[in-house]
Structure 1
Amino acid sequence: MSKIKDGDRIMVGGFGLRGCPDDLIDALVASNKKDLTIISNDLGSPGIGLGKLLSNNQVKELIGNFYNWNTDVAEAKNAGKIKVTLIPQGSFAESIRAAGCGIPAYFTLASAGTELGEGKETREYNGKQYVLEEAIYADVALVKAEKADELGNLVYCKSARNFNPAMATAAKYTIAQVGEIVKAGELDPECIVTPHIFVKAIVKGVN
């Protein structure tokens, strides 16, 4: 957690409670880092997972889309305690992928003609309006994988893979919580999803 500063933009993998790096989140809660921008599909549930950060008043802004199962988010937003930026889920995933690929922005049909597209640049292609979405970058990414080797190559478990691989590429510093760490050369190269070049630290997790 020493790599995280007050005010940082933090990406956190997971969809709901699946593929969520709970041990790293608990460590972030314990660190009491403040004014964080949390970039994640959702914010867990009230007092569970990422929801702990909101309960502990560590969140300044949320960037994501699926907050309806944590009612604390709506209450905090309506009370003016946090800022919430909603992005369609597909655009959210693509904006993170774009950041990892060095693509600064792209045009998409998603959100065109809706409130989520208001105030954004639009352009017409083949008779349809497209919205300009910018890439989403982070200072630190917290991701979860099933297994890593000592170099930091990552293998994921089924649906727990979700946003983790893309987020690992889109941050300046990526920390991976893993269930098992093996020696270099023991992983099947065909199963490695995130190459070690993107991973700065690996932590043997409990969850």
Structure 2
Amino acid sequence: MLFQIADVLSPDELNQLQTELATAEFVDGKTTAGWYAQQVKHNQQLKPDAGQALKATVQAALGRNPLFQIAVRPKQIHNLRFSRYGVGMSYGTHADNAMMGGYRADVSFTLFLSDPADYGGGELVIEGADDEQPYKLSAGHAVVYPSSTLHRVNEVTQGQRLVVVGWVQSLLRDPTQRELLFDIDTVRRSLFAQHGKTTEFDLLSKSVSNLLRRWIE
């Protein structure tokens, strides 16, 4: 599934990240790129040993977000990278590695930290079978997409683009299973909100639990 999440970060969290990253040390992004991605990756990233508190803030925000949790079913959120793009920087078309830091990459996300009015260009473009979709979201919003997709970041023409990107190993390897469970769980929660705990709710809850028990890794 490909979807957007508004306001992943609270205003205070967003301000904290923006303030600390403004004076942080960034290095060439090629240092974390695969051998072929190095040819098209032109950005900067926060030093690998820095920003542990900032990473924890992002992890906590995703952990409390119900849409992220039921759509992605995260087992491990890993390899968070704070990336900066100045004028002339971009990241050409690529697919994410299947394994990163010892974890499988099932789902990717980009959490935008710059207001879209503060930079020109810099759209995240995700390619489909017969089209492509650009994303340039408000600061604090995220787009979540399969790690298997081809995607790119268009060249920044003015200002500065700041994002955090990350990858997730899901409890469910199969994206079809994740989507099926998401649909069932969405209906279950909607029924509960309208009618409370009913027989139908109980049956759907049993189905969600039993499918997780069957598919979970």
TM-score, length-scaled by structure 1:
0.24
Which has the larger helix fraction? Answer: 2
Structure number with larger C-alpha Rg: 2
TM-score, length-scaled by structure 2:
0.24
Does 1 or 2 have the higher relative contact order (CA < 8 Å, sep 6+)? Answer: 2
